[in-house]
Structure formats: structure tokens, C-alpha cells
Amino acid sequence: MSRSPRSGTGPWTRARTYEHELRAERQAEGIAAAKRREAEGRMLPGKKPTGRPRTVGPAELATLRRLVNDGVSVTEAARTLKIGRSTAYQALAE
């Protein structure tokens, strides 16, 4: 027996399918609205921004640039700061 919301032909099945589609639509609208608010910088009170926090802050970036300018390789500088090499290259590219 299939558990999909479209299985069956009776009136209850049609009502269930309709409700399922409405719920999915409302959820998609809510997610899109939250992403817009986050992009515009107007998050709801008490809500934290979504996404992974940055590994390299301004202090680490300054230290990384200083080390690289002093002649230390990016790999060694990344090891010193305990960040990944690719993260160091991305930070330097910004």
C-alpha cells in the first residue's frame, strides 16, 4: 500500500491531497520570507542568523595577512592559526 498523499480516489483522499499541497506551499513561502528577511538584515526578534559562522574573523585575517607578508607560506600560516589551508586561501582572496 502506497503512503503518498495522492493514492486513492475517494473524497477524503482528494481533501487530504489538497491540504498537503496547501501546507507545502505555505511552508515554501515561509522559508522564502525568512531568507528575504535575513538578506535584508531584518530578522525577527530573538532569532539568530542561519548558516555556519565564519572561521576567520578580522583579527585572524590580519594575523594571516601579516604572516604571509612576512614570508611564511600560506600552509604554515594556516597551521599556526589552526585553520584549513583552503579557508586561508579563501580569506586572502577576499
Integer Cα distance of 74 and 30 in angstroms: 42
SS3 7: coil
32-43 confidence digits (pLDDT tens): 988 888 777 777
Q: List the grid coordinates of 67.
A: 604572516
74-91 confidence digits (pLDDT tens): 999 999 999 999 999 999
Integer Cα distance of 28 and 39 in angstroms: 17
Please give, one letter per residue, the 3-state secondary structure of 52-76.
CCCCCCHHHHHHHHHHHHCCCCHHH
Domain locations in the chain?
1-51, 58-93
